[in-house]
Every structure is written in C-alpha cells, then in structure tokens.
Amino acid sequence: MKHVLRLEEGDRQMVLMALAHLAIERPGWDDALKRLALQVDNEENGRPQMYDEFRKMHRIAVVAERKSQPR
C-alpha cells in the first residue's frame, strides 16, 4: 500500500532536516531514514542530496558541541 503526502517546499525541507538529525542521533537507522529521504529528495549518486547536506551540517554541530563540553 502506498500513501501520498503533499508537502510545501519548506515542510519538505523540514522533514529532511529532521530525518538527518535523527540519523546522526541514531546511526543504525541511517539506511531506513535514507530510503525515506529518497522519496522526497533529489537523488545524487544513489544518495538523497539535501538529506546528506543536513546530515553533514548536523554532524559538524554535534562534534563542536561535544568538544566544548567540560570533561
């Protein structure tokens, strides 16, 4: 069974950003989240383009945050 979800552009980007954020927080989910992202994102070399960019940006932010925390 397939479902249709109509999204405005801003909402589509927000969904991709949320999926990317979750992929960083739960690395084991990346394959499943990537498959979802491919349904609403532009594909580049078999990967969802905007999703990957959001993942990259979020990963940088997480690493910077962890480095700034006292040990």
Taking alpha carbons only, the member of 8, 18, 59, 52 closest to residue 34 is 52
pLDDT digits (tens, 9 = 90+) for 10-69: 999 999 999 999 999 898 999 999 999 999 999 999 899 999 999 999 888 877 877 887
- The domain tally of the chain equals 1
Q: Is residue 1 part of a domain?
A: no
What is the structure's pLDDT at 33?
96
Q: Quick one: DSSP state of residue 54?
A: H
What is the structure's pLDDT at 60?
85
Q: Is residue 2 part of a domain?
A: no
What is the structure's pLDDT at 61?
83
What is the structure's pLDDT at 15?
96
Q: Is residue 3 part of a domain?
A: no
Range of the domain at 50: 9-68
Residues in the chain, overall count? 71
Q: Is residue 18 part of a domain?
A: yes
Q: Is residue 23 part of a domain?
A: yes
What is the structure's pLDDT at 13?
95
